[in-house]
Amino acid sequence: MDLSTSPLFERLASARHVLIAGGGGGFDVFSGLPLYFRLRELGKQVSLANLTFTDLGRVDAAPVAPGVVRVDATTPGPRGYYPEGLLSQWFAARGEQVPVYCIERVGMAPVRASYAALHALLGFDAVVLVDGGTDILMRGDEVGLGTPHEDIASLGAVHALPVRDKLVVCLGFGVDRYHGVCHAHFLESVAALSKAGAYLGVTALLEPMPEAALFKEAVTYVCQRMPQAPSIVSLSVVSALEGEYGDVHRTERTRGSTLWINPLMSMYWAFDLGAVARRCLYLDALRDTQTHWEMDAVIELFREELRIRPWQDIPV
């Protein structure tokens, strides 16, 4: 490794088939799209998956594995919230047939089974778990965890896979303040992972990059077709790509709050997934949870018995 190399892409250099999976639900899979386009250009097979907020009971497709539904541009789904189906439709409008594998939003045990079945089905040899935001690095004793249920269920599930290269990539530094995350604690986690040799650096997305342009196009296409539930994270990253700064709003969903759009928001922060999983203080406690509500109860009990570290401002 030297200054002219990208540790993130070096880790994926020998991979044949990469699964890019949205870890935190919602639009997280969109945060992996620039990687998707670059890895395809490098000649790799790439598949897309997402821990979904879509009501799979209203998706007209049979599961391809326990808790996994394959969605493509022709798959009927709910009108109000269906980002995975709309993403496939955007690809189809460009002349491509790209499915998205939707993983049911449940407890860690069934999510783990879903990932194992997906691995058996697709045969990928590397996984990039993408977090739209940075709260997946919260280990559990921070003042704010953001929205941990989906992130940690996905983290534990991918950690259990017999795959050589497993990475965590975050996009959207600063956006989680909207969910109460202290970014000084995020940077503290980055430092700890760096000390452990598990930090793979940052990779900037820049507006002139074709991968960034396609990401913006996909986000715009889908958000326009979901006007009641556009993505706060993805639209914030688009604002950062365009050079906006400060309290800039692109959706009515954020009105009344203070945003911090900033240049760090459009950077990928990459880490070894195993090291991130080992730092999580409550991952083992969630290992056998079956439902989202059971995860809620376990996290609440865990936090009651822990000394919570208070908010810390970044001293710059």
Query: pLDDT (tens digit, 0 to 9) for every residue of the chain, 316 residues total?
Result: 788 889 999 999 999 999 999 999 999 999 999 999 999 999 999 999 999 999 999 999 999 999 999 999 999 999 999 999 999 999 999 999 999 999 999 999 999 999 999 999 999 999 999 999 999 999 999 999 999 999 999 999 999 999 999 999 999 999 988 778 999 999 999 999 999 999 999 999 999 999 999 999 999 999 999 999 999 999 999 999 999 999 999 988 888 888 899 999 999 999 999 999 999 999 999 999 999 999 999 999 999 989 999 999 998 8
| Pairing assessment for the beta strands 165-171 and 45-51 based on DSSP bridges | unpaired
C-alpha atoms less than 13 angstroms from C-alpha of 174 in its C-beta half-sphere: 21
Burial class (CB in 10 A: 0-12, 13-18, 19+), 251: middle
The distance from CA 122 to its chain's CA centroid, rounded to whole angstroms, is 20
Residue 41: what residue type? E
Place of tokens 């990539």: 169
And the tokens for 167? 């990475």
Residue 37: what residue type? F
Burial pattern 54-93, b for ≥16 Cβ within 10 A else e, equals bebeebebeeebebbbbbbbebebeeebbbbbbbbbbbee
> Reduced to 3 states, what is the DSSP secondary structure of residue 179?
helix
Residue 88: what residue type? S
CATH architecture of 7-226+266-304: 3-Layer(aba) Sandwich (3.40)
> Can you give the pTM of this predicted structure?
0.97
And the tokens for 142? 């921070």
Element (H or E) spanning 65, and its range? strand 63-65
What is the domain partition of the chain in residue ranges?
Answer: 7-226+266-304
Closest CA to 152 of 39, 282, 252: 282
Residue 256: what residue type? G
